[in-house]
A and B are shown apart, each in its own frame.
Chain A
Amino acid sequence: MSSRADDASPGVAGLGAAAPAAGDLGTPAAPVPGVSGVPTFAATGLDLPAPDVLAPDALASDVRTPDALAPDAPAPDGHGPDGDRPDAGTPDAHTSASAPSIDHPAAPDALGTFGASVHDEFAHEWAKIVEGASYVPLPADEMRDYLRELTYRLSDSLDADPFRPHEARDVGEALVAAHFTGTGTLERTFGLIGEWWPRLRAHAFSQQRDPDDYLLRVIQIQGALAAGYAEALRTRTLAEQQAIHAAVLDARALTEQALHTSEARFRAVFEQSGLGIAIGDLDGVILDVNPALAQMFGVHQTELPGRRVREFMLADDPGHVWEWYEELARGEREHFSAEKRYVRADGEPLWTHLTVSLVRDSAGGPRYQVAMIEDVTDRHRLYTRLRHQAQHDPLTGLPNRALFFERLEAVFERAAGSVGRPSGADRVGLCYLDLDGFKVVNDSLGHDVGDQLLIAVARRLDAYVSRAGHLIARMGGDEFVVLVENSAGTGQVVALAEGILGALREPFRIRGHDLTVSASIGIVERPVAGTGPADTMRAADITLYWAKSEGRGRWTVFDTERNDREVARYTLSAEMPAALHHGEFDVDYQPLVSLADGSVLGVEALVRWRHPRQGLIGPDRFIGLAEETGLIVPLGMYVLERACREAQRWSGSAEALGAPAAAPFISVNLAERQCHEPGLVRQVERVLAETGLEPERLQFELTESQIMATDGGPLERLRELAAMGVRIAIDDFGTGYSNLAYLRRLPVCELKIAGSFVEGLRKPGDADPVDARIVASLVELAHALGLTVTAEGIETAAQAERLRAIGCDAGQGWYFSRPGPPDRIATLLDGVPRAG
């Protein structure tokens, strides 16, 4: 078999490429002993077209040089292919200019008739043993084609004359180029050649070569193959190692660049940030600060590193801030935020919003703390200003009620918070002040003057009170209040109130007016414990009202008992309308008895309140309230109706006894408010009409002061009633001031002498001579005016006797009968009239 179909050189024969006649290695006609079972030479595939191109692209790997497989290319060792190589004259037959290919045209067809070539067989076995030692990126058939080509080249070298062993170097290179790089490749290849030695030897014989010489050739070929392989593998390994190292360096450079970029970005953020940033270690030593932070603190950037975070602790720091800080330093807290004040280098306050974060290392251990500090001083100032505005009165500049209540509440909260302190240790005082008659100033001189006066008053008050260290606030209008924290006692607060009144005594010069101002002050001074701000404020308010009502220009101290009474009164007064509606008011009756004969002349109706919780309440406790609230009008009408109805019953029974004239009149109290009711007369007429009571049997009792003040409409109504025949009596006569001239012109028919005068006549024997003479004078006066006289409060027979002796017409009191239910009067009327 010729190495090349186009190679005419007769002396060149490859492995099994001998002339057909030469008794070739695998020629069936000349079987080689000892090679039985081995496919015959004729079985080699020379008849098959050899691959002309060995997948050039598939071999175009990065490490492969185009000439790696080119037999004509200079060998790595520097020895070029021999110029005397028989086929050297036709290099194109072996190479293509650009693609690494092993061009192997078909062998002479003389042997083709014998089937597969020996080369094919060798290549097949070769492929089998080297496969798996490394990855060869070729399909199985391509790999075999590749190896078959190398087989041709090996056999060409072996049989060439002159012998050119170094051409086998190229085959070694070609193996590496195709990535037959596995460690066993050479070993297995030489093993295979060894196995083939008998056939090679037979071939040598057939070539008339000395087998020993041929063995030497085989060994030399192997050596060259190994050398070429080793050289190429070394080159390839170095190239790959260099490539991978270069890749590491590139990757590292990229990483470093990225780190650098990252660092640069961080640095930019750190340096350019408007936020102050400080980095510290876990011991609280500052490591680095950015320019913004240094600027905030008014120091140079180099001054802060090395200082300790703790140096920036201030007394007014919120307590939890440093707790959190400790937790963070211990790694128990990731971050915290707080509002915190610092002090700038120039002593000015620096208000900040502070966020401290813990920075951990890659293993998760705490490493650094980073503080981000935002300067909120302006915001804080604005807030402070707004807060000041919200808490101060725009007119006078004094604290307003909002701030006052905040401070007052704080007093009580502090006390509530101080557990274990002896109760009563904390005291608080309030002076609630109101200018007297300020409205007059406003009304007469105008609001502008009023405002100026308020400003001046506020200034004077502030000067006086603030000096004493107390808070003074304007509550609104002309009301001011002073808060005395930690009061030393009522005396201190009273002294303060006196001082305030004194301070205001000097007239104010406003817009050309000399204005004299007085004020009323309600004082509350009490322990903080057991009470609250609202209750204390209300007490001050009430006390101010007392001071006002007791006459102005004075202070009054809050009186708990008085307050309790007022509260009770208020409660009663509030309950009264419902009580009237529910029929809780009842009427008792007490007879007015003739001192002359003991007959019952009249009966006084006395209203009672059967209170569901307080029991029976006398009129002294609620009539005043009813007059204040106006409830006296319906209540009075209610009593009038009940009394008239009863009186009519009595007159009925008197008639039944045949003595209609003996029926007593009914005496009902008429309150001042009732007199002012325009419908009074009509209502009385209606009641009389409804009950059938004759007007002469109805008497209204009015107090002395009440009747003396009566004028106009009320007087007119009394006259109308008197004209109807209704009796008018003056109750409690002698306790007020009577204009006797006036009294004469009033439509009065009876005087009732107050019980206080009668009291002096109580004991038998030694009557009070003054009282006795007063009573005698009153009786005389009454009689002179044509009035009858009834003495109230008679408790003893002696009193009754004395009064009778004086000439008093009638008596009323427990001596005769206690007030009682209407039935008792009926019984009294049914029985024998008695006196004493």
Chain B
Amino acid sequence: MERPAWAPEEIDLTKPSVARVYDYYLGGSHNFAVDREFAAKAIGMWPELPVIMQANRAFLRRAVRHLVESGITQFLDIGSGIPTVGSTHEVVRAAGSEAGVVYVDNDPVAVAHGRAILGDDPRTVMLGGDVRDPLGILESAAATGLYDPARPVAVLLVALLHFVPDEENPAELIAFLHKHIAPGSRLVVSHASADGEPERAAEHQDLYRRRDAPMHMRSRDEVAAFFDGFELAEPGLVFLPEWRPEAGAAPEAKPGRFTGYAGVGTRT
């Protein structure tokens, strides 16, 4: 959904952006000093962060590839951030699929950037929108022609829901999506959790809290509850590296250090 023209969002480059900080963790340069300073602080607190973020990206890759192989032909990536290295449409295309990919983010810079780089892919679009307005997202996505509400869609909420506090009722947002997507649709979730590293997680959470987008770690049970109405695919809700590791990858000795949960569910 386009933000109404009456209330355009301010672009404040003095504040770090979730999307650009994420890009920095992945080794990208789509970021500014303020983002890097923020990331440096976070890494100072938690040196594995880049690796965790990369593990999250790797989960996205594995999940999307899995979904393409499962026959999913449309993807709705909400909170996609900047569609930089290893983004959903890249994985989809690499897997040889012409599936429609709709990116949605509430960061106007991410949206502008996405539009700039996606210009020559007619099967991928980038929309401004917010997960707290799921109806708006579904309507705008359908309007692009790349999302057919009658067919199963993969809804990606990757590393997103920990930015939605309980007061904003993320479960209700998912329930709304569940109600409006076709049976057989998939829900892809990865979510930060303090379960693996409780002490450091709290510190990190504090850091994000000082930003515009505070972080809300959730326990395994809380994350599992988001899959209400979805049937979790094997191996269920697990730490990031544990979700269908690729053949040839070294088994992760301590998966809990990638303190985040990942899962893919099918709408029943």
Chain A residues within CB distance 8 Å of chain B: 55, 57-58, 60-62, 128, 132-137, 139-141, 144, 179, 181-182, 236-237, 240-241, 243-244, 246-252, 254-256, 258-259, 261-262, 265
Residues A251 and B11 in contact in the complex (CB < 8 Å), given A135-B54, A135-B58: yes
Residues A240 and B93 in contact in the complex (CB < 8 Å), given A247-B116, A248-B13: no
Docked-complex contact B27 and A135, CB < 8 angstroms: yes
Docked-complex contact B10 and A137, CB < 8 angstroms: no
Docked-complex contact A135 and B26, CB < 8 angstroms: yes
Q: Which size bracket describes the interface of B in this complex?
A: 35 or more
Interface residue ranges of B221-261 to A (CB < 8 Å): 246-250
Please give the distance in Å from A141's CB to the nearest CB on chain B: 4
Docked-complex contact A58 and B90, CB < 8 angstroms: yes
Docked-complex contact B27 and A182, CB < 8 angstroms: yes
Main secondary structure, interface of B, reads loop
Given contacts A134-B50, A237-B29, A240-B84, 9 further A-B contacts (CB under 8 A): A60-B94, A62-B84, A128-B250, A135-B53, A137-B57, A137-B85, A137-B91, A248-B112, A265-B6
A247: contacting residue among B58, B91, B109, CB under 8 A:
B109
Note all chain B residues with C-beta closer than 8 A to A243: 30, 113, 116-117
Residues A248 and B51 in contact in the complex (CB < 8 Å), given A135-B58, A139-B249, A140-B246: no
B246: contacting residue among A128, A139, A241, A261, CB under 8 A:
A139
Main secondary structure, interface of A, reads helix
Chain A CB within 8 A of B8 CB: yes
Please give the distance in Å from A301's CB to the nearest CB on chain B: 25
Chain A's closest residue to B86 (CB) is: A137
Please give the distance in Å from B43's CB to the nearest CB on chain A: 12
Q: How far is the CA of A132 from the CA of B47 in the complex (A)?
A: 11
Docked-complex contact B8 and A254, CB < 8 angstroms: yes
Note all chain A residues with C-beta closer than 8 A to B115: 250
Chain B residues within CB distance 8 Å of chain A: 3, 5-11, 13, 20, 25-32, 50-51, 53-54, 57-58, 61-62, 82, 84-86, 90-91, 93-96, 108-113, 115-117, 246-250
Note all chain A residues with C-beta closer than 8 A to B11: 248, 251-252, 255
Docked-complex contact A255 and B20, CB < 8 angstroms: no
Q: How far is the CA of A247 from the CA of B23 in the complex (A)?
A: 14
Chain B's closest residue to A249 (CB) is: B112
Docked-complex contact B30 and A244, CB < 8 angstroms: yes
Docked-complex contact B113 and A134, CB < 8 angstroms: no
Residues A262 and B5 in contact in the complex (CB < 8 Å), given A141-B248, A246-B116: yes
Note all chain A residues with C-beta closer than 8 A to B9: 255
Please give the distance in Å from A207's CB to the nearest CB on chain B: 32
Q: Which of B10, B20, B54, B82 has the most CB of A within 10 A?
A: B54
Residues A248 and B109 in contact in the complex (CB < 8 Å), given A57-B93, A139-B248, A139-B249: yes
Docked-complex contact A135 and B86, CB < 8 angstroms: yes
Chain A's closest residue to B249 (CB) is: A140
B27: contacting residue among A57, A62, A134, A258, CB under 8 A:
A134
Q: How far is the CA of A254 from the CA of B95 in the complex (A)?
A: 34
Please give the distance in Å from B150's CB to the nearest CB on chain A: 29
Q: How far is the CA of A246 from the CA of B96 in the complex (A)?
A: 30
Docked-complex contact B30 and A57, CB < 8 angstroms: no
B8: contacting residue among A137, A141, A181, A258, CB under 8 A:
A258
What would be 11 A-B contacts, judged by CB atoms less than 8 Å apart? A57-B93, A128-B250, A141-B248, A144-B248, A240-B29, A240-B30, A240-B84, A243-B117, A250-B115, A255-B9, A255-B11
Note all chain B residues with C-beta closer than 8 A to A55: 94
Residues A251 and B112 in contact in the complex (CB < 8 Å), given A135-B57, A135-B85: yes
Please give the distance in Å from B231's CB to the nearest CB on chain A: 26
Note all chain B residues with C-beta closer than 8 A to A61: 85, 90
Q: How far is the CA of A132 from the CA of B58 in the complex (A)?
A: 11
Docked-complex contact A247 and B113, CB < 8 angstroms: yes
Note all chain A residues with C-beta closer than 8 A to B62: 139
Q: How far is the CA of A262 from the CA of B10 in the complex (A)?
A: 14
Note all chain B residues with C-beta closer than 8 A to A251: 11, 108-109, 111-112
Chain B's closest residue to A133 (CB) is: B27
Nearest 9 pairs between A and B by C-beta? A134-B27, A137-B86, A247-B113, A258-B8, A250-B112, A141-B248, A240-B29, A251-B108, A135-B26
Q: How far is the CA of A93 from the CA of B249 in the complex (A)?
A: 30
Residues A244 and B8 in contact in the complex (CB < 8 Å), given A236-B29, A254-B108: no
A140: contacting residue among B6, B109, B113, B250, CB under 8 A:
B250
Q: How far is the CA of A57 from the CA of B68 in the complex (A)?
A: 15
Please give the distance in Å from A183's CB to the nearest CB on chain B: 8
Please give the distance in Å from B246's CB to the nearest CB on chain A: 4
B5: contacting residue among A140, A247, A248, A258, CB under 8 A:
A258
